[in-house]
Structure 1
Amino acid sequence: MMHRSIFIFLFLFAFNTYAQQPARLNVIAYYSAGPEQVDNLPAEKLSHIIFSFCHLTGNKLTVDNRRDSTTITKLVNLKKRNPKLKVILSLGGWSGCPSCSDVFSTDAGRKEFAQSVLQLNQKFKSDGIDLDWEYPTIEGYPGHKYTLEDKPNFTALVRELRKVLGPKYEVSFAAGGFQKFLEESVDWKEVMKEVDRVNLMTYDLVNGYSTVTGHHTALYSTPQLRESTDNCVQYLLKIGVPANKLVIGGAFYGRMWEGVVATNNGLYQSGKFKAGVDFKNFDKQISEEKGFVKYWDDVAKAPYAYNAAEKLFITYDDKRSLALKTQYAIDQKLDGIMFWELSLDTDKDGLLDAIVKTVDAAQKGKPQKAKAGKKK
């Protein structure tokens, strides 16, 4: 009898411990490179890979060419190494949705699109669709059509996708992390009923059209810049979006401005956008040898760098800021963290590793704290 009681106690203790173990944070990678790199991708570290991008031909989702088909096939093959990996097909991109407003404005267009999404996923044995329409309802890529009717049409689109795809396939969408998108583009209450998650682009918060520098991927708002990951998340939580459907975003690239004066080491100063810089090239392009000095904003929880001789300013994510973002997602009980874009990382000890180390530490009960503080 004594042995039986001990067995029952140990069973209940183990069960309770397992039940209390928090769900592992989803780590979601967008991937826009070709098939050559796929076999070397760190599939075991990811929950999802989103192929970027498919586009519209008429009303149908289509893969543009044989090279893209090969890439998708090889991405799906990564499931042999990670059976839990989800491979998602993405529509659009910044310049990739010129006809979205028109196609999704009719019931017939939405139905034909949804059927094509199902057929492509069945063909490739992939796992769903991510809508990257930039943007419904508000101005996005120059020249792309947008109307007020995009908002209800987007709701109708996700309803049709869920109806056709059912529970087997995932439906998600990429959303601007800035206030205008949050307030105007989407009927959050209705859309979030249908989707598995929203991938919040909490980067490019200061974009290439801006003539003033700032943090393009800040975790917290500052007196000079409202836009931030926290601003985005807290807005959505307050209007009732479930935390477990929110995914925040990190940037595996920096944004550089030129003609920036040295005041405040170039932060919040006038300038002209110059170029993006891939994280894997940081050591070569924004090193001390190149004249850059790196700084940390302890309010925004974000790094930046300035080259006084050449008047260059760059804003970016680094290992420290992404570790803090990841911990923020864990603390807020969000669904995950995603990033643009996997091929921009270094082969070893890169930004993805900083994310995964933070997730692993949290699973072991050793979280990092990401509280706002004073600027250093």
Structure 2
Amino acid sequence: MTHAERPFSRLKLHCTLLLAALFLFITMPAAFAHAQDKVIIAYVFPRDRVLSPDEINARKLTRINYAFANIKDGEIVEGFPHDAENLAILNALKRDNPALRILVSVGGWTWSGNFSDAALTRQSRTRFIASAVRFLERYHLDGLDIDWEYPNQIGNGNTFRPEDKHNFTLLLAELRQRFDAEQKRLGRRLYTSIATGASQKFLDNTEMAKVQHYVDTINLMTYDFYVGGPTTGHDAPLFHNPADPKNVSADHSLDLYLQAEVSEKKIVLGLPFYGRSWGEVPNINNGLFQPGKAARGVHFSYPDLPNLLATGFARYWDQTASVPFLYNPSTQVFVTYEDPQSIARKCRYVRERHLAGVMFWEYSNDSTGILLDALHAGLQPPPDSNSGAD
């Protein structure tokens, strides 16, 4: 190529790129054309099955956290036999949504027992982080979600120690440092996030004001407020109902985090895509905040819940807490759950409080896509948000 040819060639190249960009903008799906300023994170937990390529609507998500990888001998390892197949299927979803990011979540309630040892020393942390890099490269992933339940707490019979409080910070700081270096080598962004408890106890055992600087999002698990126990209650109330004996809500948890000097812009509000039930609940206050026997470990998928209305259940709306519940006076069964109305209200709350977005546990509990549709619609910026209209 001669010097005389270069200006013309560069101009032609610039025009070609401009036309290509314009074509993509015009033809891209509406979900992409209308910028999504809030993250929508889905936890996907297939366990021992292979995902179907068409069961996940990638266009309505910004991030998928694949659950769970395990920790063995201080290193991140596959949790289930079909992880390789499933991660390949999830990566293929980027054809429908190139902006989608796939992370692997390590730990969880069942597999958090080895975090304390992995975070204990500089050497053990280096070993853990090196295994994370290998895992991400092996499966072409975009980052790591740390789901340690919980530092300096026994959780599911886990090893824990007071040093966890500071070691949790060190683990995330060193992970971010290593990922920053790997990004330059790989030429792409690597994300870090954490799933966190919604209580003051979690904050007392961590250094969240420091931790927030090393993660892209803090996925606040504002659900499971009522798990088992002798009294019925809301699994994920948005606001506190004065009649609630446990005095819990997502709003209260957010205030605790803000008081701990955590930026709201890092916080992602957690939602449950399932229901929980109690039996032997007396017909007082439609079963809400009444004694009963919880069905431990029993989850209802959302498509099952509306069907209960045909079998004697009635739906009630707690105006104060902004969540629904079901009660059957004949069978004395109480059900707490999430529905499109409560999701819409929580999405409005996320926008009002300037949070980073929403995450939910977990995708397969919403096979109809009704809850995800409500979530996606609720987080869209108002159509006249840039026009100055009210």
Distance change >3 Å, CA 22–CA 230, structure 1 → 2:
farther
1:162 to 176, 181, 186: 176
Structure 1 residue 23 displacement after superposition: 6.0
Q: Decide whether the 8 Å contact of 1:178 with 1:205 is kept in 2.
A: no
Deviations 1:42-99 (A, max 9, x none): 0000000100000011111111344111101111111111110010100011111122
1:188 to 181, 205, 208: 208
Deviates more, 1:61-70 or 1:316-325: 61-70
Structure 1 residue 304 displacement after superposition: 0.8
1:340 to 361, 372, 377: 361
**1:148 aligned to 2:162?**
yes
User: Which residue in 1 is equivalent to 2:304?
Assistant: 281
Amino acid of the residue matched to residue 83 of structure 1? P
Deviates more, 1:121-130 or 1:224-233: 224-233
Paired with 2:351 and 2:238, the residues of 1 have a C-alpha distance of 14
**1:236 aligned to 2:257?**
yes
Identity %: 34
**What SS is found at the alignment partner of 2:360?**
strand
**1:118 aligned to 2:167?**
no
**How many aligned residue pairs are there?**
340
Amino acid of the residue matched to residue 111 of structure 2? G
Paired with 2:71 and 2:342, the residues of 1 have a C-alpha distance of 36
Higher gyration radius (CA) = 2
**1:211 aligned to 2:230?**
yes
Structure 1 residue 352 displacement after superposition: 0.5
Structure 1 residue 31 displacement after superposition: 0.2
Q: Decide whether the 8 Å contact of 1:24 with 1:363 is kept in 2.
A: no
- TM-score relative to the length of structure 1: 0.86
Q: Decide whether the 8 Å contact of 1:35 with 1:74 is kept in 2.
A: no
1:305 to 326, 332, 344: 326
Deviates more, 1:229-238 or 1:296-305: 229-238
Q: Decide whether the 8 Å contact of 2:36 with 2:380 is kept in 1.
A: no
- TM-score relative to the length of structure 2: 0.83
**1:42 aligned to 2:57?**
yes
User: Which residue in 1 is equivalent to 2:239?
Assistant: 220
Structure 1 residue 228 displacement after superposition: 1.0
Q: Decide whether the 8 Å contact of 1:179 with 1:227 is kept in 2.
A: no
Distance change >3 Å, CA 364–CA 91, structure 1 → 2:
farther
Amino acid of the residue matched to residue 359 of structure 2? M
Runs of 4+ residues deviating >4 angstroms: none
Paired with 1:215 and 1:365, the residues of 2 have a C-alpha distance of 33
Distance change >3 Å, CA 317–CA 364, structure 1 → 2:
farther
Q: Decide whether the 8 Å contact of 2:37 with 2:381 is kept in 1.
A: no
Structure 1 residue 185 displacement after superposition: 2.7
User: Which residue in 1 is equivalent to 2:269?
Assistant: 248
**1:318 aligned to 2:339?**
yes
Residues 66-77 of structure 1 mapped to structure 2, 5 A cutoff: 66-77=81-92
Deviations 1:281-321 (A, max 9, x none): 2133xx22222111100110011111111111111111100
Residues 85-96 of structure 1 mapped to structure 2, 5 A cutoff: 85-96=100-111
User: What runs of 5+ residues in structure 2 fail to find an aligned partner?
Assistant: 1-33, 184-188
